[in-house]
């Protein structure tokens, strides 16, 4: 599509009053027009005719526990890939790309989960990441992960606990990133504190993460602006 990009943000938040992934991403848009659609709430996706790029956000949902709206997102992804629309998926969105294009057999529980801050080591050159620090620091929060996706997926980056942190679907403009670079150091601390108060399975991992000092990073803005120029 010629002209300025028109971004569709597929917001996968289940509890939108607690988790606001589209809000974190739009902070890095620098004036680019964006339309936000929350699929878990049943919102209509609408036509893709005026969409130039698609961003798939994280979610509190587990990719391993199928929900009714998963197929709607998977169909959206397949349609967009067929049209050649660039897609960037983060965390759950990264996993959903593999779910839609290759199947749920390439997803598994994380062992161990990654909660806090991690160093992503780039193992292949790519237009979205070339010239960035290597490794680069980012916020991570995931209990599921992609495992050995088939061709044409290419692994571009990894952490010490997960070797599928950055993926690309062959040479197509389709990327998945497991981390949450859109969440700043300060906001990640607030997110972890709120999560700790809610308790649940993540409490032990969150408490450990809060004992670390998060690094400052502006990686999200660089990645997103490069993506929107594709």
Q: Judge whether 139 and 214 are in contact, CB under 8 Å.
A: yes
Query: For residue 196, what pLDDT is reported?
Result: 65
The model carries a pTM of: 0.92
DSSP string covering the chain, please?
--SS-EEEEEE--SSTTT--HHHHHHTTSTT-EEEEEETTTT-----STT--EEEE---SS-TTS--TTHHHHHHHHHHHHHHT--EEEETHHHHHHHHHHT-GGGEEEEEEEEEEEEEEEE-S--TTTTTS-SSEEEEEEEEEEE-SPPTTEEEEEE-SS-S-SEEEETTSSEEEE-S-TTS-HHHHHHHHHHHHHH-STTHHHHHHHTTSPPPP--HHHHHHHHHHT-
Give ∠ CA 108-87-121 in degrees, rounded to 5.
60
pLDDT band at 201 (very low <50, low <70, confident <90, very high): low
* Burial track 184-194 (b if 16+ CB lie within 10 A, e otherwise): beebbbebbee
pLDDT band at 206 (very low <50, low <70, confident <90, very high): confident
Q: Give 65-68's long-range contacts (Cβ < 8 A, gap of 24+).
A: 66/104, 67/40
pLDDT band at 1 (very low <50, low <70, confident <90, very high): very low
User: Can you give the residue ranges of every domain in the chain?
Assistant: 6-112+144-183+218-228
Query: For residue 197, what pLDDT is reported?
Result: 63
| 127-136 confidence digits (pLDDT tens) | 999 999 999 9
Has domain 6-112+144-183+218-228 been given CATH number 3.40.50.880?
Answer: yes
Q: How far apart are CA 212 and CA 216, in angstroms?
A: 13
Percent of the chain whose pLDDT exceeds 70: 90
pLDDT band at 82 (very low <50, low <70, confident <90, very high): very high
| 97-148 confidence digits (pLDDT tens) | 999 999 999 999 999 999 888 999 999 999 999 999 999 999 999 999 999 9
């Amino acid at each position: 599509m010629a002209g300025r990009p028109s971004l569709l943000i597929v917001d996968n938040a289940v509890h939108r009053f607690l988790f606001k992934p589209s809000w974190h991403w739009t902070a890095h848009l620098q004036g680019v027009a964006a339309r936000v659609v929350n699929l878990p709430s049943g919102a209509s996706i609408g036509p893709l005719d005026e969409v130039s790029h698609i961003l798939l956000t994280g979610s509190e949902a587990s990719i391993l526990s199928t929900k009714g709206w998963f197929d709607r997102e998977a169909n959206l992804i397949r349609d967009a890939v067929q049209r050649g629309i660039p897609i960037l998926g983060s965390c759950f969105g990264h996993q959903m790309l593999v779910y839609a294009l290759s199947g749920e057999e390439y997803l598994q529980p994380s062992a161990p989960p990654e909660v806090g801050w991690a160093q992503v080591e780039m193992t292949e050159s790519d237009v979205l990441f070339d010239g960035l620090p290597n490794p680069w620091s980012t916020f991570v929060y995931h209990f599921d992960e992609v495992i050995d996706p088939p061709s044409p997926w290419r692994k571009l980056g990894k952490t010490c606990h997960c070797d599928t942190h950055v993926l690309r679907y062959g040479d197509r403009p389709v990327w998945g990133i497991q981390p949450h670079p859109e969440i700043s150091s300060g906001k990640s601390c607030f997110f972890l504190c709120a999560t700790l108060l809610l308790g649940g399975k993540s409490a032990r991992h969150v408490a450990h993460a809060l004992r670390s000092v998060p690094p400052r990073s502006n990686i999200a803005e660089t990645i997103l602006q490069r993506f929107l120029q594709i």
